[in-house]
Amino acid sequence: MEEKQYLIDSLSIEESWRVFRIMAEFVEGIETLSEVHNAVTIFGSARVKPDDAYYKKTEILARLLAQNGFSVITGGGPGIMEAANKGASEAGGKSVGMNIRLPFEQKPNPYANIHLDYKYFFIRKVMFVKYAMAYVILPGGFGTMDELFEALTLIQTKRIKSFPLILMGSDYWQGLLDWMKKTMLQESKIQSADLELIQIIDDPEEVVKHIKKYVIV
């Protein structure tokens, strides 16, 4: 009986300390990012290599954003995230990498000149939304989809102010949008106005122009 009570007490203490660790990650994130303004968050696959066309296009986009006065935020890892941090930092812009500690794939890239390291996904996701003036989303997997649909949900339900949601890579995204129109919309699971929240733009210069319509730098 005493051993059982000891285990219960130990678990309770561990839960209490978890609250403080969560608070510490929030505080560090807010203090670090409070100096980051007019930020565009770029998402995409960690598995893309430097010779991939999307890597190169992301690098160009991030460079243009930095040259136009925007900061760039990414998940801090390899692939598309690395390309975005590289383009922004080499153009002299603020290049934020918000790395998540994972057992595979996610290693911090060397191009972020502002670096944060997270244990908790949900804190990192709050920071993406809180400090972004726009999202640009390139081809990716489950994590990329998660960020896209969370932003759509928050904007649709008016939990956050609407901001540009841009998909780059029409060949990759068109099938998803067609399904949303032919299935979700036709079955009244969403409204036509919900689809208008998403823009597909393939050219980096056009992406920057579109964002500048909504954001004064």
pLDDT of the residue at 167? 98
Q: Domain spans of the chain?
A: 36-214
Per-residue pLDDT of 25-61, as tens digits, reads 999 999 999 989 999 999 999 999 999 999 999 999 9
Separation between Cα atoms, residue 54 and residue 95, nearest integer Å: 19
For residue 74, give both structure tokens. 């990414």
**Residue of higher predicted confidence among 3 and 183:** 183
**Residue of higher predicted confidence among 4 and 96:** 96
pLDDT of the residue at 208? 98
Query: Is 50 exceeded by the pLDDT of residue 9?
Result: no
CATH 3.20.20.140 fits 36-214, yes or no: no
For residue 4, give both structure tokens. 């059982």
Query: Is 50 exceeded by the pLDDT of residue 107?
Result: yes
Q: Dihedral angle at the C-alpha atoms of 23, 25, 30, 32, nearest 10 degrees?
A: 150
Separation between Cα atoms, residue 72 and residue 96, nearest integer Å: 6
Per-residue pLDDT, averaged over 96-121, amounts to 87
Token pair 């949601």 in the structure block, residue: 165
Per-residue pLDDT, averaged over 81-97, amounts to 98
Contact 109, 78 (CB under 8 A): yes
pLDDT of the residue at 20? 87
Query: Is 90 exceeded by the pLDDT of residue 95?
Result: yes
Query: Is 70 exceeded by the pLDDT of residue 8?
Result: no
Per-residue pLDDT of 123-161, as tens digits, reads 999 999 999 999 999 999 999 999 999 999 999 999 999
pLDDT of the residue at 11? 52
pLDDT of the residue at 12? 63
